[in-house]
Structure 1
Amino acid sequence: MTAERAPLLEAAGLAKAFGQSAVLRGVSLRIAPASVHALLGENGAGKSTLTRILLGVERADAGSVRLGGAPYAPASAEGARRAGVVLVPQERTLCPHLSVADNVVLGIEPAARARPGIRDRARARAIAREAIALVAERPDRVPLDAPAGELGVADQQLVEIARALAQGGLREGGRLAARLLVLDEPTSSLGHADAARLFDRVRALRDAGLAVLLVTHFLADVRAHADRYTVLRDGRVAGEGDPRETEPAQIVREMLGRALEGARERAASEAAPPGGGEVVLEVKDVSGVKRPKRASLTLRRGEILGIAGLVGSGRTELLRILAGLDPKQGGTVTLRAPRGIGLLSEDRGGEGLMLGRSIAENIWLSPRAPRFAAPSSLLPEAARWIEALAIRAAGPDQRAGELSGGNQQKVQLARLLREDVDVLLVDEPTRGIDVPSKAQVLSLLRGLAGAGKAIVLVSSQLDELVTTCDRIAVLRRGTLDPPRPAASWTAASLLLEASS
């Protein structure tokens, strides 16, 4: 940013806490007009909270924001849109059965002047046409009458951007009224070719005067397409600058708080290769409906195989395919495990547990459990698992929803252990739990592998993968790379590989 260019948006000293947890601690940010500004940071660094403040979804506890030189403190998302600050979220929000035109004007349908409450279809179509023209390189690339669900993922992303721009307002002649577009992980579900095409349109919008705040984990995208970057770590600004003049290793150091080191050798007992165990799971060229695009792996008894990857890379989707919960589009999955396979869901509250039911009922819940069981038989067995896993609870009849996150996670594990499956698919087992509980859960997984279980571990905590797993594979843009020994990785090198 040159000295003579006044910032379009300037945030100073933003602070935000939720209860006793401080999420933002004096964050300052300057975004130049007609620029692409990347916002980086690990999960939990404060990126989402910062963008929610800019979008009017949250209010800062302290600090100030100026937009175009004027004070800016929207009380709602609608207020932010009226000021010209709009969002394209990471997850698609299109209605697949509606046409492209209907999706673009959804929520902002113009009313007919002579008939209040009735949509002006001609004007609605004109708005959609003008918005699509801003994001599509050819007018026929994204047909207005096509159902949105029939478009490719990249074209759906363009429709999302067109809708955001329409919500920010279009001036006469289809010129932009929006001033700041927030793109949240726009390429997480795109391949390289589609991502490149998307950024062609982003550059065209920038050249037309729009400022873009790019929230992403992909360092390659930042270096290729961003004019400036800001790194958040633990709620503070940890680095900023010109990405073209900054080495990726330096940005990683700013994100993690330490340098990109060489591989650390683990103790021999922890780094032993999984050579002796029999193969219990073999996956060849598996693809999902959307993600992953291609994944192959072998898993041996007694091994923990880690899968690293960014948000949206397809990690959870792969585990759900292996567990038989989601369909696969191609490839083969061969399971050589007489006791079967089980999944520990990352969404323990939504699908992993019945929070309103007792610990005993949750542990008993299983396809292998009898259809009917007397409470007198549930409670003693649940009590044994509570003792075995050191679950802190008032008793087996306590509701699962009353437990801490770490103890809820142990209840999920207890159900899998009670089933005695051979293969455990473990998705984000330490998310949202305290440090002592994390150590207990990871130690338990190592113990299970030592007892002959085969485990696939997905975690966003890269240090956990390095210290817990035998081998680690990186899932990038839907494609799983061949695994390497965990001793050859560090958290920093995993992050660099996943974001390349």
Structure 2
Amino acid sequence: MSEKTVLSMRNISKHFPGVLALDNVDFQLEVGEVHVLLGENGAGKSTLMKILSGAYSKDNGQIFLDGNEIDIRDPKHAIELGIGTIYQEFNLVPFFSAAENIFLGREFKTSAGTINWKKMYEEGKKAINLVGLNSSPRKRVRNMTVAEKQLIEIAKALSLNSRILIFDEPTATLSEKDVDHLFKLIRSLKAEGKSIVYISHRMEEIRSIGDRCTVLRDGKYIDTVRIKDTTRNDLIRMIAGRTVDLSKKCLVEPMEEVVLEVKGLEAPPKVKEVSFDLRKGEILGFAGLVGSGRTEVMKAIVGEIKKTRGTVVFENETINPRHPCEALRKGIVYLSEDRKDEGLVLKMNVRHNISLGNLKSICRRGFLSDKKDRKLARKYIQDLQIKCPGDRGRAENLSGGNQQKLVISRSLASNSKLFIFDEPTRGIDVGAKEEIYCILQRLAREGFGIIVISSELPELLRICNRIVVMREGKVTAILDNSDLSQDEVLNHAMGE
């Protein structure tokens, strides 16, 4: 252990029922460095960091802080030791304000012992300004966007003045502007001598922010390398254990028949005169900065938000669904970007999450057929190669990529004809991304209509036939992807 080493984890192992999540893993963190932790979903990254943050206890191994062996009892003890964590899954109280969430359990008190609300909101404003969020500290979390919630999580961790900060997929929901601000913040923390553990699947940001990286695969330690001395392809090979090329375009030829036509759609304040069409077998991408109105367009189509003008024609029939369930009955399914809160029933098992998509097919005289239920689940587990201990395991215990496959499998079970995917690969690794792309392409080849909203331009350029670019609620361009660059898409997204 060098003098620069602030943290050392040695031979860390962790078992869950039927799973060896960590197998004698080593990890070292130096003072004032950004150390990236890489690996596919299920590789053990989050488990290792949950042990460091006190959320899990280790089965074997040792942890040293400043050369002294420690035993982290719980999250509160980790905070006392100077270890702060920004989790990928939000840990916020929806009915509390931003300030209340940031200082939860550490409220400012008056001399009389009551909460000092003036001080709370003053300090809350400073905390959210630090992460670049232009919002009121009094705003309730339930009224925030996914990106705003992520920034509140970051503000909460920074307010603890931790010397070790763990960022678990912090940019998955942030705009490019927010990401730039976050990176500036991380660099300033690094200059102050704080040590950062950074978990991410986005290769371009890893090279921008990281000093060293440690790769895990299937719960095992693979290697630790200096990022500047390693190529992108080398890192992907280490992560996946094979060569994966995500840069090459792979387009499926669509049919001529139009399956969806949207004309003059308006849903104030985010959607203004949006028009586009979608052909059978086409993968149509939607690009734009966060807040451009992409998601709101799709929610207006399926009836989750009310449209005030415009027509939606699906399979030559004008439709006006008042609720997503009504759109689903017509054959249109919207898969939310928030798969944990809006896509899955996490406490329910894998089998029932799949069969929720088509209960009619597995019920007889109002009773569930266990045989049909099991058969349906096993079909999609096999077809989509969902990695799970069995169909009785809870959805919450699956990796991010397998949770996304589970959402897709339920949609397929519903016998829909048009699929709207909102950030389908958010927070999943390069190998799982490739598998999701293959599923989308297979659906396109079978004649389904596919819409993909994504903040990752390389993703849209890889699989989409055309890309609809939005800015401030309006369509600024519909671009053919035969010979399209990221710069051209960005120019339209930014109004240049």
Q: TM-score range by the shorter chain?
A: 0.5 to 0.7
What is the match of residue 84 of structure 1? 82
Following superposition, the deviation at residue 273 of structure 1 comes to: 2.0
What is the match of residue 119 of structure 1? 114
Question: Which amino acid counterpart does residue 208 of structure 1 have in structure 2?
Answer: E
Question: Is 1:360–1:378's contact at 8 Å kept on the other side of the alignment?
Answer: no
- The DSSP-based 3-state class of the residue aligned with 1:59 is coil
1:342 corresponds to 2:332: yes
Question: Which amino acid counterpart does residue 321 of structure 1 have in structure 2?
Answer: K
Question: Is 2:124–2:137's contact at 8 Å kept on the other side of the alignment?
Answer: no
* Change beyond 3 A, Cα 1:331–1:358: closer
Question: Which amino acid counterpart does residue 71 of structure 1 have in structure 2?
Answer: E
* Change beyond 3 A, Cα 1:28–1:190: same
* Change beyond 3 A, Cα 1:319–1:179: same
What is the match of residue 160 of structure 1? 153
What is the match of residue 324 of structure 1? 302
What is the match of residue 3 of structure 2? 5
* Change beyond 3 A, Cα 1:104–1:38: same
- The DSSP-based 3-state class of the residue aligned with 1:8 is strand
1:388-442 residue CA offsets vs partner (Å, 9 max, x unmatched): 99699xxxxxxxx86998999899468523xxx432457979xxxxxxxxx9xx9
1:364 corresponds to 2:360: yes
* Change beyond 3 A, Cα 1:457–1:136: closer
Question: Is 1:57–1:76's contact at 8 Å kept on the other side of the alignment?
Answer: yes
- The DSSP-based 3-state class of the residue aligned with 1:259 is coil
Work out which of the residue numbers 217, 237, 242 in structure 1 matches 2:221. 237
- The DSSP-based 3-state class of the residue aligned with 2:5 is coil
Tell me, in whole angstroms, the C-alpha distance in 2 between the residues paired with 1:265 and 1:138: 36
Q: Following superposition of structure 1 onto structure 2, how do residues 317-466 of structure 1 map, counting pairs within 5 Å? A: 321=299, 324=302, 326-327=304-305, 334-337=312-315, 340-343=330-333, 347-349=343-345, 363-364=359-360, 375=365, 412=410, 416-417=414-415, 421-425=416-420, 452-455=447-450
- The DSSP-based 3-state class of the residue aligned with 1:63 is strand
What is the match of residue 215 of structure 1? 199
Question: Which amino acid counterpart does residue 119 of structure 2 have in structure 1?
Answer: R
Following superposition, the deviation at residue 11 of structure 1 comes to: 0.8
The alignment-based identity, stated in percent, is 24
Highest Rg: 1 or 2?
Answer: 1
Tell me, in whole angstroms, the C-alpha distance in 2 between the residues paired with 1:408 and 1:136: 38
Work out which of the residue numbers 27, 30, 38 in structure 2 matches 1:29. 27
Tell me, in whole angstroms, the C-alpha distance in 2 between the residues paired with 1:130 and 1:388: 50
Tell me, in whole angstroms, the C-alpha distance in 1 between the residues paired with 2:300 and 2:132: 41
Following superposition, the deviation at residue 279 of structure 1 comes to: 2.0
Tell me, in whole angstroms, the C-alpha distance in 2 between the residues paired with 1:284 and 1:198: 38
For the aligned residue pairs, the C-alpha RMSD in angstroms reads 6.1
* Change beyond 3 A, Cα 1:282–1:248: farther
Tell me, in whole angstroms, the C-alpha distance in 1 between the residues paired with 2:97 and 2:63: 37
* Change beyond 3 A, Cα 1:5–1:149: farther
Following superposition, the deviation at residue 76 of structure 1 comes to: 1.2
Question: Which amino acid counterpart does residue 343 of structure 1 have in structure 2?
Answer: V
Aligned residues: 430
What is the match of residue 278 of structure 1? 257
Question: Is 1:353–1:362's contact at 8 Å kept on the other side of the alignment?
Answer: no
Following superposition, the deviation at residue 180 of structure 1 comes to: 0.9
- The DSSP-based 3-state class of the residue aligned with 1:30 is strand
1:442-491 residue CA offsets vs partner (Å, 9 max, x unmatched): 99995x767654356899xxxxx999x8969899xx99997869xxxxxx
Question: Which amino acid counterpart does residue 333 of structure 2 have in structure 1?
Answer: L
What is the match of residue 462 of structure 1? none
Tell me, in whole angstroms, the C-alpha distance in 2 between the residues paired with 1:119 and 1:15: 44
5+ residue gaps, structure 1, are: 169-175, 367-372, 393-400, 430-438, 460-464, 486-500
Tell me, in whole angstroms, the C-alpha distance in 2 between the residues paired with 1:334 and 1:452: 20
Question: Is 1:239–1:251's contact at 8 Å kept on the other side of the alignment?
Answer: no
* Change beyond 3 A, Cα 1:279–1:109: same
User: Which shifted more, 345-354 or 204-213?
Assistant: 345-354
Following superposition, the deviation at residue 133 of structure 1 comes to: 5.6
What is the match of residue 74 of structure 1? 72
If the length of structure 2 is used for normalisation, what is the TM-score? Answer: 0.63
* Change beyond 3 A, Cα 1:40–1:363: same
Question: Is 2:128–2:134's contact at 8 Å kept on the other side of the alignment?
Answer: no
What is the match of residue 233 of structure 2? 249
Tell me, in whole angstroms, the C-alpha distance in 2 between the residues paired with 1:384 and 1:220: 42
Tell me, in whole angstroms, the C-alpha distance in 1 between the residues paired with 2:142 and 2:208: 30
Following superposition, the deviation at residue 244 of structure 1 comes to: 2.8
Work out which of the residue numbers 193, 206, 211 in structure 1 matches 2:177. 193
Tell me, in whole angstroms, the C-alpha distance in 2 between the residues paired with 1:472 and 1:352: 37
What is the match of residue 57 of structure 2? 59
5+ residue gaps, structure 2, are: 318-329, 382-390, 396-401, 426-434, 455-459, 483-496
What is the match of residue 369 of structure 1? none
